[in-house]
Structure 1
């Protein structure tokens, strides 16, 4: 059972992703000294660099590339409302869309969690026959998630990197941003489909 997954990033990071031909984990990006427009909470990213993984390839959560099982994530809402580490809003945030089978075909060291991976009581699972245990339709994709905020933040994580060619679509909020993405994709040998999907935003 393959499940769609979504990684959010700022459009300012797209040229680097194309140039590197992959999405790097935070730990690897720091090791390589690559510049990055951070849109998340810095303290959570720092904490994930120290939080152990007991399945897949082990290591720390920050050594894995994170995906949600839905667009319009809880973190995107935080970005939309603006926070102390990023006040740029959601307009120029991209959804990089793939699916679990495609990522796993190029990276065997993956796992998923039943809730936000940063929580101490999140279950780390690398038995992908169990992925059907996630209630993707009724909870994770639910538009109004106040009653199950943690479950909506279940994560799919891939060790160290995800190849650029594993991204099959890029979702954007407006045609203006789509036009910018198309310009950046002129530099790429592989060009995912670009879709204007305002329903994926707040």
Structure 2
């Protein structure tokens, strides 16, 4: 079973992702001293650098690149509303779309969780035959998620890096941002399809 997954990042990070040829985990990016426009909660990112992984390559959650099993994630809602660490809104946030099989073929150390990976009681699973246990259609892709916020935040995580060539599509909120992304992609060898998908946003 292969499932579509989505990683959100700010457009300001795209040039570095293309030049590095991959998405780095937070831990690796810090180790390399790379500049990054953070859009998430800094305290959660710090906590994930210390939360252990018991499957895949082990280590800490912060050593893995995170993906959601849907666009329009809970974190994007937080970004849309604004929070202490980022007030820039969602307009220039990109959805980098791939799938579990494509990423796993280039990175053998992957796993997924049934809920938000940062929670103590999240199950860490590296048996991908169990992906069917996630209720992607009725819960994870649901537009209104207040009753199952944790389940909607189930994650797919890849150790240390995800190769740029595994990104198949880039979803954006507006044609203006699509034009900006296409301009940045001009010099890239790998050019994912850029799609204007306002329904992926709040």
Instruction: Check whether TM > 0.5.
Output: yes
CA distance, structure 1, for counterparts of residue 177 and residue 129 of structure 2 = 37
CA distance, structure 2, for counterparts of residue 126 and residue 23 of structure 1 = 21
CA distance, structure 1, for counterparts of residue 186 and residue 29 of structure 2 = 24
CA distance, structure 2, for counterparts of residue 50 and residue 188 of structure 1 = 35
Structure 1 segment 74-89 matched on structure 2, within 5 A: 74-89=74-89
The aligned length equals 202
Deviation at 1:187, TM superposition (A): 1.9
Partner of 1:29: 29
Partner of 2:153: 153
TM-score of the two chains, using structure 2 as the length reference: 1.00
Structure 1 segment 108-147 matched on structure 2, within 5 A: 108-147=108-147
CA distance, structure 2, for counterparts of residue 109 and residue 94 of structure 1 = 25
Q: Deviation per CA, 1:7-44: give whole Å up to 9, x if none.
A: 00000000000000000000000000000000000000
CA distance, structure 1, for counterparts of residue 141 and residue 79 of structure 2 = 18
Partner of 1:199: 199
Q: Deviation per CA, 1:102-130: give whole Å up to 9, x if none.
A: 00000000000000000000000000010
CA distance, structure 1, for counterparts of residue 19 and residue 187 of structure 2 = 8
- Runs of at least 5 residues in structure 2 that lack an aligned partner in the other structure: none
Which runs of 4 or more aligned residues in structure 1 lie more than 2 Å from their structure 2 counterparts after TM superposition? none
Partner of 2:105: 105
TM-score of the two chains, using structure 1 as the length reference: 1.00
Q: Secondary structure at the match of 1:148?
A: helix
Partner of 1:178: 178
CA distance, structure 2, for counterparts of residue 131 and residue 44 of structure 1 = 25
Deviation at 1:63, TM superposition (A): 0.1
Partner of 1:13: 13
